């Protein structure tokens, strides 16, 4: 979550709770809401690394709040991030390990594993479908995120089929 937070701070200085709200607002239902603790932990690390700095702002009747802003090294880290291609998706290796190893140890039958996994993916697909239905149709960001997740799931299912065909 480090770099998304830096990106938001590049727009304007903000305190932790505002960052949480921005993420929710921009990414909508599709993004698992980051909890505020996670955000503060991340901000603390960014501060330690010198990528952001915080100033205390006094509030009446309330404890001071910390407003974070981007430093020059922070800006640099952000530029590097923007300039690099992102990593490709990771394969679901945990399932693959299970699939290859479980039958060897007599732990489980391959066909059973594959069938269970297929149903699980289809259940997830159904959830994504429901999520897409509940999402406002003009919320392009959230809908694209959901569609991306659906396409990844589709690839996982296709791969499952290949495993079923190729592994005895």
Partner 1 sequence: MTPPPVAGSVISTVNLVKIYSNGGVPVPAVRGVDLRVEAGEFVAIMGPSGSGKSTLVHMLGGLDSRTSGEIWLDGRRADTLGESAWALLRRRKIGFVFQFFNLVATMTVADNVELPALLAGASAREARERRERLLAELGLTGRADASPAQLAGGEQQRVALARALANRPSLLLADEPTGNLDSRNTRDVLRLIGEVHRGGQTVVLVTHDARVAGMADRVISLLDGQVVDDGTVGAARRRPRGTAGDVVELRG
Given the DSSP bridges, would you call strands 62-70 and 52-59 parallel, antiparallel or unpaired?
A: antiparallel
Q: How many CB atoms lie within 10 A of CB 85?
A: 5
Of the listed pieces 50-58, 92-100, 101-109, 118-126, which binds partner 1 according to CB under 8 A? Answer: 118-126
- 44: contact with partner 1 by CB under 8 A: no
- 103: contact with partner 1 by CB under 8 A: no
Chain centroid to Cα 166, Å, comes to 32
- 33: contact with partner 1 by CB under 8 A: yes
Q: State in angstroms the smallest separation of the CB of 110 from partner 1.
A: 11
The residue with tokens 């700095």 is 53
Dig out the tokens for 153 from the structure.
């799931």
Of 64 and 73, the one with the shorter C-beta distance to partner 1 is 73
Of the listed pieces 59-67, 68-76, 95-103, 152-160, which binds partner 1 according to CB under 8 A? Answer: 152-160
- 31: contact with partner 1 by CB under 8 A: yes
Give the containing element (helix H, strand E) for 26: helix 16-27
- 102: contact with partner 1 by CB under 8 A: no
Cα–Cα dist 45/2, whole Å:
9
The 75-94 site mask, x for binding partner 1 (CB under 8 A), equals ------x----xx-------
Among 36, 57, 91, 122, binds partner 1 (CB under 8 A): 122
Are 135 and 145 spatial neighbours (Cβ–Cβ below 8 Å)? no
At 124, give phi and psi (nearest 5°). Answer: -65, -40
Please give the angle made by the CA atoms of 68, 71 and 73, to the nearest 5 degrees.
Answer: 140
Residues that bind partner 1 (CB under 8 A): 1-4, 27, 29-33, 81, 86-87, 111, 115, 118-131, 145-150, 152-154, 157-158, 161-162, 164-165
């Amino acid at each position: 979550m480090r770099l998304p937070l830096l990106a938001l701070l590049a727009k304007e200085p903000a305190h932790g709770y505002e960052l949480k709200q921005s993420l929710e607002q921009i990414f909508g239902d599709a993004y698992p809401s980051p909890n505020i603790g996670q955000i503060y932990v991340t901000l603390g690390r960014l501060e330690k690394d010198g990528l952001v700095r915080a100033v205390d702002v006094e509030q009446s009747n309330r404890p001071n709040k910390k407003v974070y802003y981007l430093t020059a090294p922070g800006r640099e880290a952000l530029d590097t991030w923007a300039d690099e291609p992102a990593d490709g998706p990771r394969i679901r290796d945990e399932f693959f390990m299970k699939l290859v190893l479980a039958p060897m140890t007599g732990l489980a039958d391959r066909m059973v594993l594959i069938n269970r996994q297929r149903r699980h993916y289809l259940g997830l697909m159904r959830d994504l479908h429901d999520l897409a239905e509940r999402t406002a149709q003009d919320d392009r960001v959230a809908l694209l995120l959901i569609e991306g997740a659906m396409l990844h799931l589709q690839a996982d299912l296709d791969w499952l089929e290949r495993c079923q065909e190729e592994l005895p």
